Structure 1
Amino acid sequence: MKTALLLSIGLLLGNHSWANEALAKKNGCTGCHAMASALVGPAFKDVAAKYAGQADAKDQLVHSIRLGSSGKWGPMAMPPQAQLSAADAQKLAVWVLKSK
């Protein structure tokens, strides 16, 4: 009950960060990435730090999310996540860039 109330308040205030975390979990992102520590891929906070201040950061991340990437974080390639809609990839990119 308390969780539902907090989620409702978050929606009313426009804070959707929890929803994007749920989107990341739903789409398997958290199988390779964690918020604060590297797993198979870099931590979300490290991705945010790497792209901080870059005008095209969101577009770069959307591209990497949907089409995959290699060589940005070492030898492990990120497989493409083509099943994600462009809108969901953008939500995830914005959420990752706001990670701390």
Structure 2
Amino acid sequence: MKKILVALTVLGTMTTLPAFANLQLAQQKNCMSCHTVDKKLVGPAFKDVAAKYKGGNEAALVQKVMKGGSGVWGPVPMPANNISEADAKTLVKWVLSQK
């Protein structure tokens, strides 16, 4: 019984680590200065972005994260970000997974 509980605990930790790690990446890259997971701040909530772009073009969103954009969510532009394409892909996948 203890082995089963340990295995379930390890599996549970493994499934939450990527989500936490991507939140950490969003914090490190200053995304959280303008966004939150569940409510509008300066920019849209990540949950709203996920809903709007469900099944959308991830590559275009990666470019938007890297180069910035304007007009989609209102008059406040999103500035370009100093971020690698790999990190931008990780963040876009994470943002699109928000519900």
Is this a same-fold pair by TM over 0.5? Answer: yes
Larger Rg: 2
Partner residue, 2:80: 80
* Change in 2 beyond 3 A, CA 1:32/1:7: farther
Contact 1:20 1:91 in 2 (8 A): yes
Shift in Å, 1:25 = 0.3
**5+ residue gaps, structure 2:** 1-8
CA distance in 2 between counterparts of 1:14 and 1:32 reads 24
Contact 1:10 1:16 in 2 (8 A): no
1:32-71 equivalences in 2 (<5 Å)? 32-54=34-56, 56=57, 58-71=58-71
Corresponding letter in the other structure for 1:10: T
- Cα distance per residue 1:19-47 (max 9 Å; x no partner): 00000001100010000000000000000
Residue 16 of structure 1 aligns to a residue whose secondary structure is helix
- Aligned pairs, how many? 91
Q: Percent identity?
A: 44
CA distance in 2 between counterparts of 1:87 and 1:16 reads 15
- Cα distance per residue 1:35-91 (max 9 Å; x no partner): 00000000000000000122x1x112101100000001010000000x211100000
Contact 1:35 1:43 in 2 (8 A): yes
Contact 1:66 1:84 in 2 (8 A): yes
Residue 42 of structure 1 aligns to a residue whose secondary structure is coil
Partner residue, 2:95: 96
* Cα-Cα RMSD: 2.0
Residue 63 of structure 1 aligns to a residue whose secondary structure is helix
